[in-house]
Amino acid sequence: MVDEQVALAIEESEQLATMALFAAVEAGLQIDYQNRIRRRIKKGTPLRQLYKKIHATTTQKKLQAPPVECLIDSWKQVQPQSAQLAGDLLAAFRYRHWLAHGRYWVFQGNAISHDLLFHLVSRLFKSLEASEAGFHPDPVHKS
């Protein structure tokens, strides 16, 4: 009985850590998006053009922010060498949605550990940073 409780506590801690990492990933992608939409980042014209279309749809639907999947899909289009990593991240976000929305159904996919997600995101973000468009997940403050 105690072993089961410990195992459940460890599993819950792993899920919380994974969820926190998903939140940080989404924040980085959203900040990069905002920086481009607000013209703080001038590089990456094809990406900015895609983001402008997403922004128009987001505004029309009166959403606060675009779905992260749209941002990842945009990166897949402008950075084809990162498409596999971006696709893996999209698949991982299905697990994130299951975690975030109550876990009341049986997840039909592969759960992703915190460590695996960390390595996936590290590789993807390094690839995006090295791209022509660059990757700017830090807020740009006006001086």
pTM value?
0.87
CA-to-CA distance for 140 and 31, rounded, in angstroms?
9
pLDDT in tens, 9-56: 998 899 999 999 999 999 999 999 998 888 776 665 788 889 999 999
What was the pLDDT predicted at 143? 44
Q: What is the mean pLDDT of residues 51-71?
A: 94
Confidence at 65, pLDDT banded by 50, 70, 90: very high
Nearest alpha carbon to residue 92 among 70, 125, 118, 66: 118
User: What are the tens digits of pLDDT across the range 69-125?
Assistant: 999 999 999 999 999 999 999 999 999 989 888 888 888 888 899 999 999 999 999
22 vs 36: CA distance, rounded Å: 21
CB-neighbour burial class of residue 10 (10 A; exposed 0-12, middle 13-18, buried 19+): exposed
141 band by pLDDT with thresholds 50, 70 and 90: low
